[in-house]
Amino acid sequence: MPKLSFFLGCIMPNRYPGIEIATKKTLEKLGVELVELPGASCCPAPGVFRSFDKATWLSIAARNVVLSEELGYDLLTVCNGCFGSLVDANNILKEDEAEREATNKILKQIGHEFKGTIRVRHIIEFLHSEVGADKIKEAVVKPVDLKVAVHYGCHLIKPSKERHLGSVENPRFFDELVEAVGAESIEYEDKLACCGAGGGARTAVLDTALQMAEAKVQHAIAAGADCFVDACPFCHLQLDVGQTEIAKKFGREYNLPVLHYSQLLGLSMGYTPEEMGIDMNYITNDEFMKKIGGDK
């Protein structure tokens, strides 16, 4: 049975715990064992902290990777932002001797050392390459009859020099996982477009960042989507909380539901929307909840 440490990050445990429980329950059913990674911190967010100070970004990220090294397991994240920080940091420290030496000098003072012994995995690429769509199909007890607008997000696949996950203009692996649970992955305009949250833009220029999110929502609705399915709690927040902000600031209401892939997978395994925390989103859409078998 593959065993990985579960890196929580910030937004999932502290805003969308539904994604956390969904990841735990669904991976267990697929025979993947997750162990706790006590004491891990913010990844730290690549777009902001790498923009502020590289040494701080790299050493905090290195500490998180090292905690998993010390347990002896590859690290799993369900967040594109954490993936961005931790994969990039892990690669830099494995490949750049000067950076490794400088970072280890810092880590030594808190009793750690980066050795370069593990891999950083993202749930989507891990499920696709290590578990496989066929095994996921076998685990489905309740095919999900939904039209899904898949949102890859940027840092799952880019920069490709650090990811090696195939085409960045027309990737398919995430769509295959969505189709494995019985849902239809629909085509929509600018499907690969950014949600607008990254790089500190959501913090710096919220209104502009929201316009980017709004375009995504409009394109998904125009293509007939029942919901978004994403691979990142930060994109999730931007698309979900973002719609409440768009309603308040711009006076336009959409209420297009947003699910993380782990939550969609959970529905297909027979868990209720409430067990997967789907009702804990900030936008509400009773019609959708009824469609997926929710209480309300």
Partner 1 sequence: MDTIKTAELDHDFIKEISEEPGAEKITLCFNCTGCTAGCPMADLEAQYNIRKILRMASLGMKDEVLNNPYLWYCTTCYKCQERCPQGVQNVDALLKIRTIAVKNGIMLPKHRAVAKLVIEYGHAVPINDDAKEKRKKLGLEEMPYTVQRFPESLDEVHKLVEITKFGELTTE
Q: What is the dihedral of CA 57, 58, 62, 63, to 10 degrees?
A: -40
DSSP code of 1? -
Is 56 a binding residue for partner 1 by CB under 8 A? The answer is yes
Q: Using the rule CB under 8 A, give the single segment among 26-34, 134-142, 201-209, 265-273 that binds partner 1.
A: 201-209
236 vs 273: CA distance, rounded Å: 16
Work out whether 129 is an interface residue with partner 1 (CB under 8 A): no
Q: State which of residues 120, 136, 186, 197 lies at the interface with partner 1 (CB under 8 A).
A: 197
Choice between 15 and 94, CB closer to partner 1: 15
CB 47 within 8 A of CB 286: no
Q: How far is the CB of 138 from partner 1 (least distance, A)?
A: 26
Residue 158 amino acid letter: K
Q: Is the dihedral of CA 10, 11, 15, 21 positive or negative?
A: negative
User: Is the Cβ of residue 131 or residue 238 nearer to partner 1 in the bound state?
Assistant: 238
Residue 254 CA to residue 214 CA, distance in Å, equals 9
**Which of 219, 283, 279 lies closest to 253 in space, CA to CA?**
283
* Of positions 17, 31, 143, 293, contacts partner 1 by CB under 8 A: 17
Query: Applying CB under 8 A, which part among 51-59, 133-141, 222-230, 284-292 lies near partner 1?
Result: 51-59
Residues between 78 and 107 with contacts to partner 1, criterion CB under 8 A: 96, 106-107
Q: Which stretch binds partner 1 (CB under 8 A): 39-47, 113-121, 176-184, 223-231?
A: 39-47
| Cα 158 to the center of its chain, rounded Å | 13
User: Is position 55 an interface residue for partner 1 (rule: CB under 8 A)?
Assistant: yes
How many Cβ atoms from other residues are within 10 Å of residue 165's Cβ? Answer: 19
CB of 285 to partner 1, least distance (A): 18
Output the smallest distance, CB 147 to partner 1, in A: 24
Pick 182 or 199: Cβ nearer partner 1: 199
The pair of structure tokens assigned to 278 is 């789907």
Cβ atoms < 10 Å from Cβ of 132 = 15
- Helices 261-268 and 173-180: angle between axes, nearest 10 degrees: 30
Angle at 283 between CA 282 and CA 286, to 5 degrees: 125
Contact letters for partner 1, residues 103-122 (x by CB under 8 A): ---xx-xxxx----------
User: Does 273 sit near partner 1 (CB under 8 A)?
Assistant: no
Buried b (16+ CB within 10 A) or exposed e, 12-46: beebbebbbbbbebbbebbebebeebeebebbbbb
47 near partner 1, rule: CB under 8 A: yes
Vertex 43 angle, CA 39 and 49, to 5°: 130
Asked whether position 158 contacts partner 1 by CB under 8 A, the answer is yes
Q: At 109, which amino acid appears?
A: Q
Q: Is 75 in the site for partner 1 (CB under 8 A)?
A: no
Would you tell me which residues interact with partner 1 (CB under 8 A)?
8, 10-11, 13-15, 17-18, 20-21, 36-42, 44-56, 59-60, 63, 96, 106-107, 109-112, 154-155, 158-160, 168-169, 190, 193-194, 196-201, 203-205, 208-209, 211-212, 275, 277, 280
